[in-house]
Amino acid sequence: MKLVILGPPGAGKGTLAPVITEITGCTHISTGDMFRKNIKNQTELGRRAEAYMNEGKLVPDSLTIDMVRDTLVNEQDYDNFLLDGFPRTVEQAEALDAILAGSGKELDAVICLDVADDVIIKRLSGRLVCTNCGAGFNSNTMPPQIEGICDNCGHELSVREDDQPETVAKRLKTYHDQTEPLLGYYQRQNKVVQLDGSGTAEETDEAVKEVLKKMINGDEVDLNDFV
């Protein structure tokens, strides 16, 4: 399957991704994770992206589109991916359509997580991440078993640089201004599956599993039926 997961910062895209990849076998491609890896490895791309990310702004389309194009073209399983955090502008969405159309392909669905700003602000105030294995936790909603330590690998957990409250406010504004218009873009292509992401992680997991099972079985999915 060729899927996109779309939603505001902190909506739960990264949390839901392993559920989707487990069911579909898709490769998870997160542009945010790719930029953070480049920052950690002190690459030229990381150096250029970091200032934008810490300001809550989008990394310029030219850098982002080139990075995703290279990844998709080099990705062996080019037919089976979940894009998380890309596209984020109409220009990026048009570029993705063109990249896929170049080999006669198109997206199967765009899973949109719907979560209100006040819920997101609360969630992101408690997010903890493991920079070693990538696992995510939340001191408010999904605490690790031992405070400050990753359940998976035992590494120390940290707070993401862009989760400071003033940066979260900027990221939300960037989302509403630049990324929300993509909903209309994909609705016009009849590809949007809207999910309420404001419940517990388990509730969101169940909703997405139901949608994916229907898609895998070739059953009709009423694309607006899951709000």
188 is catalytic: no
Could you give the CA distance from residue 194 to residue 9 in angstroms, rounded to a whole number?
A: 16
For position 14 contacting Mg ion by CB under 5 A, the verdict is: yes
If the CB atoms of residues 119 and 221 are measured against ligand AP5, the closer one turns out to be 119
CA distance 212 to 225: 13
Query: ∠ CA 154-21-185 to the nearest 5 degrees?
Result: 120
Q: Looking at 2, 88, 123, 191, which residue is catalytic?
A: 88
170 is a catalytic site residue:
no
Whole-angstrom distance, CA of residue 38 vs CA of residue 35: 5
The reply to whether 36 belongs to the active site is no
Q: Look up 37 and say whether it is catalytic.
A: no
Q: Tell me the closest approach of the beta carbon of residue 122 to Mg ion, in angstroms.
A: 16
Contact code string over 30-59 relative to Mg ion, x by CB under 5 A? ------------------------------
160 is catalytic: yes
Q: Which one of the spans 6-14, 19-27, 74-82, 214-222 is the region binding ligand AP5 (CB under 6 A)?
A: 6-14
Q: Which residues contact 187 (CB under 8 A, 6 or more apart)?
A: none
Per CB under 6 A, does 28 bind ligand AP5? no
Residues in 125-154 at the binding interface with ligand AP5, rule: CB under 6 A: 127, 136-138, 141-142
**What values do phi and psi take at 111, rounded to 5?**
-90, 115
Q: What span, in angstroms and rounded, lies between the C-alpha atoms of 73 and 50?
A: 25
Does residue 53 interact with ligand AP5 by CB under 6 A?
Answer: yes
204 touches ligand AP5 by CB under 6 A: yes
Contact 168, 9 (CB under 8 A): yes
Question: For ligand AP5, which residue of 4, 6, 11, 182 counts as binding (CB under 6 A)?
Answer: 11
Residue 44: exposure state from Cβ atoms within 10 A (0-12, 13-18, ≥19): exposed
For the segment 137-156, give every residue that binds Mg ion (CB under 5 A): none
The answer to whether residues 198 and 116 touch, using CB atoms and an 8 Å cutoff, is yes
Q: Does 29 bind ligand AP5 (CB under 6 A)?
A: no
DSSP of 159-219, one letter per residue?
A: --GGGSHHHHHHHHHHIIIIITHHHHHHHHTT-EEEEE-SS-HHHHHHHHHHHHHHHHHT-
Interface ranges with ligand AP5 (CB under 6 A): 7, 9-15, 31-32, 35, 52-53, 57-59, 64, 85-86, 88, 92, 123, 127, 136-138, 141-142, 162, 171, 197, 200-201, 204
- Catalytically active residues are 13, 88, 127, 160, 171
